[in-house]
Amino acid sequence: MSETAAVYQQDTALAEPAEGRQALLTAALKSFAEHGLNGVSLRTITAQAGQLNQSAIRYHFRDKEGLVAAVLADVMAALAPHQAQALAQLTARGSERPWTMRELTQVMFQPFLMVYLGGSIGLQRIRFLSRLTWQEGGKGQAMLVSAVQPYFLQYTATLQALAPHKSEAALALHTYLTVNTLIHGLADASLLQAHPVFGLDTLHETQPGALLDYFYDYLAGGLASS
């Protein structure tokens, strides 16, 4: 065997496990988004990923909790560049023109909207985060809070300046509730087309920007409330 062939064979051997791992992540994201974390078996995910080895998940992720953590890390990696852009807007604004709660809300939550707008996989990512909050035993909630908290903590000082009447605990609680509302709201947004309520399906088609404005107004109202 030539040196070139040996290197190619080695590279292929290294690539196959990585491809198998990614296939499992893709299948798990889709399955968890559609059926919930407790609504699908590891065997099903393995089959949907096209993996013949039933121990593939154990090899790459050790167990189901490890697989869930890896899917969450993958979703957070998709959010990361959008979060970096949002934080750049936060720091670039300076003190010359103070923020309003509505403006800050839009910038703060824009990364989740950008992921949501990323096609079918974007919707799967948001629905996975939504499903994660319902995992039995509170593990999912704890994982989600741990993943998103570092990002939202960077808005604390600005939020406190905009809502000085709130205690630190109240502001933290309202931020947590608003994040949950955002995630669940985006996860269910497509239902407006199938189950029209108060003409929102028509508004979604004719003025999609207005529907988004209403949503941001709602989120900002919760953060600014007394």
* Predicted confidence (pLDDT) per residue in 118-160, tens digit: 999 999 999 999 999 887 668 899 999 999 999 999 999 999 9
Which one, of 133, 130, 149, lies nearest residue 141 by Cα?
133
Q: In the chain, where are the structural domains located?
A: 1-62, 69-224
Over residues 110-114, mean pLDDT: 95
Q: Find out if CATH 1.10.10 is the number for domain 1-62.
A: yes
Residue 96 has pLDDT above 80, yes or no: no
Total-model pTM: 0.85
Q: What is the pLDDT of residues 1-56, one digit of tens each?
A: 555 444 334 433 334 578 889 999 999 999 999 999 999 999 999 999 998 888 89
